[in-house]
Amino acid sequence: MAKRQDGKETKLRVLNAACDEFSQKGFRDATVADICKQAGANMASVNYYFGDKASLYVETWRHIYYDFKESVLSVLESGTAEEKLRRYIRFLIENYTARDDVKKFSRLYLMELLNPTGLIDDIWDEIVDPSREKLHGIVRGLMDTEVDEIKLVLCELSIINQCRVLSTVQETDLERFLKRPFDDDMIQQMIDHIIEFSLAGIRAIGGKKD
Task: Show the 3-state SS of the chain.
Answer: CHHHHHHHHHHHHHHHHHHHHHHHHHHHHCCHHHHHHHHCCCHHHHHHHCCCHHHHHHHHHHHHHHHHHHHHHHHCCCCCHHHHHHHHHHHHHHHHCCCCHHHHHHHHHHHHHHCCCCCCHHHHHHHHHHHHHHHHHHHHHCCCCCCCHHHHHHHHHHHHHHHHHHHHCCHHHHHHHHCCCCCHHHHHHHHHHHHHHHHHHHHHHHCCCC
CA-only gyration radius of the chain, Å? 20
Q: What average pLDDT score do residues 115-138 get?
A: 86
When mean pLDDT is compared across 133-142, 149-158, 164-173, the lowest value belongs to 164-173
42 domain residue, yes or no: no
User: In this structure, what CATH number is given to the domain that contains residue 71?
Assistant: 1.10.357.10
pLDDT bin (cut points 50, 70, 90) of residue 1 is very low
Predicted pLDDT of residue 194 = 96
Q: Would you say 139 and 157 are in contact if contact means Cβ atoms under 8 Å apart? A: no
pLDDT at residue 102 is higher than 60: no
9 domain residue, yes or no: no
10 domain residue, yes or no: no
Predicted pLDDT of residue 4 = 47
Q: What average pLDDT score do residues 116-145 get?
A: 86
146 domain residue, yes or no: yes
d(CA 208, CA 206): 6
Encoded amino acid at 80, one letter = T
When mean pLDDT is compared across 48-57, 64-73, 90-99, the lowest value belongs to 64-73
178, 101, 158, 196 alpha-carbon torsion, rounded to 10° = -60
pLDDT at residue 5 is higher than 70: no
pLDDT bin (cut points 50, 70, 90) of residue 72 is confident
Predicted pLDDT of residue 58 = 93
Report the mean per-residue pLDDT for the chain.
86
pLDDT bin (cut points 50, 70, 90) of residue 206 is confident
Encoded amino acid at 48, one letter = Y
31 domain residue, yes or no: no
d(CA 177, CA 153): 29
- Domain extent, residue 151, equals 62-206
Predicted pLDDT of residue 176 = 92
36 domain residue, yes or no: no
The count of structural domains within the chain is 1
Q: What average pLDDT score do residues 183-204 get?
A: 94
112 domain residue, yes or no: yes
40 domain residue, yes or no: no
